[in-house]
Amino acid sequence: MASAFQLVEVRGPELEPWIDTLGGLRIAVFREFPYLYEGDLKYEREYLRGYLDCPRSLVVFAQDASGHTIGATTCMPMAEESEGFRGPFERAGVPTDDVLYLGESIVLPEYRGGGLGGEFFARREAHARRLGLRTTARSSGPARGPSAVGRLLDAPRLSSPLGAAGGFPLEGSRRRTGIS
């Protein structure tokens, strides 16, 4: 039911008035299992500065009918990401100049399962195309070991529930291991 939500796209400096909203949402969602994150707005403001300072970044906010922010997703060109994100790809020989890094997609628990994940992926892929980037990539995180998953934007999509939920199709995808 993504149609019941309003999606608001902000880029780079447009994020300034949204920083605390995004930081608070990250704290609320990542506080839950399995993350158990105990963040604070001071750290969030510093972390999110990378998106604010990058004119080619995109943050998509989802709001309910009353204007309450219920979810968000982030992305930016990998070449403009911090070394902490970009470095592992570069050390593994993955060129970063044609890649859009897909950051987090976060949704408050009571709004999950309503189609926002698919909407978020579609918005980020459209942004990659606008920027002329051909590949999207995300880190699978330390829980799954050092790896990254990427998808060429012209690769076929799955029609299975996994694909609809924003999973990467096996055909047309590139999985690199050994990235740390």
Q: What is the pLDDT of residues 33-51, one digit of tens each?
A: 777 888 899 999 999 999 9
Q: Residue 121 pLDDT more than 50?
A: yes
Q: What is the pLDDT of residue 81?
A: 92
CATH number reported for the structural domain that contains residue 118 in this entry: 3.40.630.30
More confident residue, 152 or 19: 19
- Structural domain containing residue 86: 2-177
pLDDT one-digit tens code per residue, 103-113 = 999 999 999 99
Query: How far apart, in whole angstroms, are the C-alpha atoms of residue 95 and residue 113?
Result: 34
Of the chain, the percentage scoring pLDDT greater than 90 comes to 59
Residue 28 pLDDT greater than 90, yes or no = yes
User: What average pLDDT does this structure show over 113-117?
Assistant: 93
The number of distinct structural domains making up the chain is 1
The DSSP line for the chain is -GGGSEEEEE-GGGGGGGHHHHHHHHHHHHTSTTT-----HHHHHHHHHHHHH-TT-EEEEEE-TTS-EEEEEEEEEGGGS-HHHHHHHHHTT---TTEEEEEEEEE-GGGTTSSHHHHHHHHHHHHHHHHT--EEEEE--GGG-SEEEEEETTSPPP-SHHHHTTPPPSTTEEEEE---
Task: For residue range 58-105, list pLDDT tens digits in order.
Answer: 999 999 999 999 999 999 999 999 888 888 888 888 889 999 999 999
102: left (phi over 0), alpha (psi -120 to 50) or beta: beta
Bond preceding residue 34 cis, omega within 30 of 0:
yes
pTM attached to this predicted model: 0.78
Task: Return the pLDDT at 179.
Answer: 38
